Amino acid sequence: MTPAARTQAAIELLDAVIVAARDGGAAADTIIARYFAQRRYAGSKDRRAVRALVYDAIRLLGERPQSGRAAMLALARDPPELMAHFGAGGHAPEAVADGEPVAETGVAPQWLTERLIAAGLTISDLQALLDRAPLDIRVNPLRSDADSVRSALEGAGPIAGLPMALRLPVDSQIERHPLWNDGAFEVQDAGSQAVSLAAGAAPGMTVVDLCAGGGGKTLALAALMANQGRLIACDADRGRLSRLTPRAERAGVTIAETRLLNPGREAEALEDLTGRADIVLVDAPCSGTGTWRRNPEARWRLTSQRLETLTRLQARLLDVAASLIRPGGSLTYIVCSLLDAEGGDQIERFLADHSGWHAETLALPLGTRHADGMRLTPAHDGTDGFFVAKLHCT
């Protein structure tokens, strides 16, 4: 592909990303993978270059742009050599027309920027939400140890405060590394590892991971439990939950049992656990404002209606979780969002509605105190953004 043809490919992809963001379609990564699956003539350098153009344009634009061309014209202001691709002939984009729209640059949609600022973030905190994410792994003590994994992976370095976490050069190809196959490590953001510690899981406990998804935190909990006790991994999404079993096998986790929940009727499938769990972890479905480094187009998807639906679901899941906890047990609530509506406000509501509960003052190796919990941000902690709180039932 010529450089100008790559620019045209990026425009076509951006058009698809914009439509998907508007209509709740596939993620940008999936759209790019599908595009190249149908264009085998594109070599790996072409793919890398086109992908970089698409993501550079997405990161540059806070509001969802009207078209891929408007997005690319905004990017073409700098570096200006991109502008020379327009009208270059062959597979290049058409020449720029007089008065053609150019998308406005920005960090996030106005309404979200306002809410994030209201949650105490600065503009540079917001800008850091769009940095390129590092590649972090969690060493699995059920299969290996941090020194062995570190010496086997080129460029691996420690992360202060997290003895089982290592940070690797961003482009490291590790997903099929022999040590990965052996279950010696999992790819997991350091922030995700830090907030998992908040639950205080220990050997012999009964732990419910209410929103386990593919099991990222379930596996971390199992390691903290030294594979002893009972770990019930639940989710309402059969596909996600089904990915947990092979991962657990690879990681040598034998205590995890999965339970599929019926949305809206979660408590029914958990009746036998009422008042019996030492710990319930609610890694709640959320807007993901803390993970824009990985999915920058997510900020083009979120609407205030979607946010409202999510906050209602989070409140309900907190109530379900509370019913499972034994007296003296604890509930850890996590969201990878930095909006107070999904973080501190949820805890405030919960405490107002549930007498006999209180929030613990957390002391995690990363993060800062925020509302009744702690907050991790890319700018402060070099991790994805999270809010975590721990509630005790007396």
Ligand X SMILES: C[S@@+](CC[C@H](N)C(=O)[O-])C[C@H]1O[C@@H](n2cnc3c(N)ncnc32)[C@H](O)[C@@H]1O
Binding residues: 235, 283
Minimum Å gap between C-beta 242 and ligand X is: 12
User: What stretch of H or E contains 110?
Assistant: helix 110-118
Minimum Å gap between C-beta 215 and ligand X is: 6
Which of 211, 234, 286, 336 is catalytic? The answer is 336
Per-residue binding letters, 223-242, with ligand X (x by CB under 6 A): -----------xxxx--x--
**Beta-strand runs (E) in the chain:** 135-139, 157-159, 162-168, 185-187, 206-209, 230-235, 256-260, 277-283, 325-335, 357-359, 368-370, 373-376, 386-393
Choices 26-34, 135-143, 152-160, 212-220; region in contact with ligand X by CB under 6 A: 212-220
Residue 304 to residues 109, 307, 339, 341, 343, Cα–Cα distance (Å) = 11, 5, 12, 11, 16
Check binding of 138 to ligand X (CB under 6 A): no
Given a contact cutoff of 8 angstroms between Cβ atoms, the answer to whether 235 and 260 are in contact is yes
Given a contact cutoff of 8 angstroms between Cβ atoms, the answer to whether 161 and 366 are in contact is yes
Choices 70-78, 109-117, 135-143, 209-217; region in contact with ligand X by CB under 6 A: 209-217
> Distance (Å, rounded) from C-alpha 377 to C-alpha 368?
9
Given a contact cutoff of 8 angstroms between Cβ atoms, the answer to whether 388 and 333 are in contact is yes
Minimum Å gap between C-beta 11 and ligand X is: 32
What secondary structure letter does DSSP report for 200? -
Residue in this structure with the two tokens 């009972």, named with its chain if needed: 230
3-state secondary structure of 297: helix
Given 261, 277, 374, 376, the residue binding ligand X (CB under 6 A): 261
Dihedral sign for Cα atoms in the order 369, 375, 377, 382? positive
Given 136, 189, 266, 384, the residue binding ligand X (CB under 6 A): 266
Check binding of 290 to ligand X (CB under 6 A): no
Check binding of 384 to ligand X (CB under 6 A): no
Count the residues of the shown chain that bind ligand X, applying the rule CB under 6 A: 17
Dihedral sign for Cα atoms in the order 113, 190, 206, 247? positive
Choices 26-34, 49-57, 173-181, 214-222; region in contact with ligand X by CB under 6 A: 214-222
Check binding of 343 to ligand X (CB under 6 A): no
Minimum Å gap between C-beta 9 and ligand X is: 32
Residues within the annotated binding site for S-adenosyl-L-methionine?
Answer: 235, 283
Given a contact cutoff of 8 angstroms between Cβ atoms, the answer to whether 331 and 211 are in contact is no
Amino acid identity for residue 152 in this structure: A
Minimum Å gap between C-beta 199 and ligand X is: 11
Is 336 marked active-site? Answer: yes
Check binding of 191 to ligand X (CB under 6 A): no
Check binding of 362 to ligand X (CB under 6 A): no
Check binding of 344 to ligand X (CB under 6 A): no
Check binding of 342 to ligand X (CB under 6 A): no
- Cis bond upstream, residue 79 (ω within 30): yes
Per-residue binding letters, 240-259, with ligand X (x by CB under 6 A): x-------------------
The alpha carbon of 294 is separated from its chain's Cα centroid by a whole number of angstroms, namely: 7
Minimum Å gap between C-beta 318 and ligand X is: 11
* Structure tokens that stand for 289 in this block: 């404002």
Check binding of 212 to ligand X (CB under 6 A): yes
Given 125, 186, 189, 283, the residue binding ligand X (CB under 6 A): 283
> Distance (Å, rounded) from C-alpha 297 to C-alpha 27?
8
Q: Judged by CB, which is closer to ligand X: 74, or 195? A: 195
**Interface residues toward ligand X, by CB under 6 A:** 210-214, 216-217, 234-237, 240, 261, 263, 266, 283, 285
- List active site positions: 336
